[in-house]
Amino acid sequence: MSQSMPSGILQPKQLSNHIAERIRADILGGVRHPGEFLRLDEVAQQLGVSVTPVREALMGLSVEGFVRHAERRGFIVSALKRGDLEDLYTLLAEVSGRLTERAATAATPHDIEQLEIVHKRMIRAAELEDFENVERANDEFHRIINRAADSAKLAWILLSILKYVPTRFYANITGLTNMLIEQHGNILEAIKGQDPKAAYEAMYEHEQLAMREVIENLERRGIFELEPQE
């Protein structure tokens, strides 16, 4: 279960955001299940914080569709719709592709050097089956590209969509790590070659394939709404 959070060093808004991130990750990771009650005092005790930021976090998560309010009982974890996430992940592939397309002509030699370093770090972590560092390297690879693209609005849209993507547990899905490494290599070569079209296509394919694997993994974790019986 979740550990306590460093409430003493965070501003109230930061704390509620951190709590929301923790609960969101627990839902997408299958730690908290559809239909589970989230009572404010219990969640606050689990996280070592007061009730107020927990309430703010859960209100935000209700807007995002991760929980719903239960009158006088706190909140209930919602079952997400597979179709909704498929739509969001398709949009994620498009936005990521556009950012990479722009990075192909905007990336500096330093950006490319950093991408090469992170790519090698990811390969090494995979060889060691160090999935935590695989995920860290994956995140950093994408961050470098998004910074190089220098498109604030697209980056904002991407961050909004990424709330619906698991931040843990997926690097060790069977076969996914090797696929990530191969595709990152294709993306890197397109950016090094300053080829916007190839960069867009490589990133779009990468995100489509990766998110397909994530969808199947989420379904196995039972987070999706059951289809109505005929």
25-34, 98-107, 162-171: range with highest mean pLDDT: 98-107
Predicted local confidence at residue 167, as pLDDT: 76
Q: What is the pLDDT of residues 129-156, one digit of tens each?
A: 888 899 899 999 999 999 999 999 999 9
* pLDDT for res 179: 86
pLDDT at 1 over 50: no
Q: Is residue 227 left, alpha or beta, with left meaning phi > 0 and alpha meaning psi from -120 to 50?
A: beta
Task: List phi, psi (to 5°) of 212.
Answer: -60, -40
Backbone torsions φ then ψ of 151, nearest 5 degrees: -130, 95
pLDDT at 59 over 80: yes
**Tokens in use for 119?**
């790519």
CB count in 10 Å sphere of residue 201: 17
With a cut of 80, say whether residue 13 has pLDDT above it: no
| Per-residue burial over 30-53, b = 16 or more CB atoms within 10 Å of its CB, e = otherwise | bbbebeeebebeebbebbebeeeb
- Say what the pLDDT of residue 5 is: 52
Task: Tell me the three state secondary structure of residue 67.
Answer: strand
Over residues 86-101, the pLDDT tens digits come to 999 999 999 999 999 9
pTM of the model: 0.85
Strand, coil or helix: 122: helix
* pLDDT tens string 181-192: 999 999 999 999
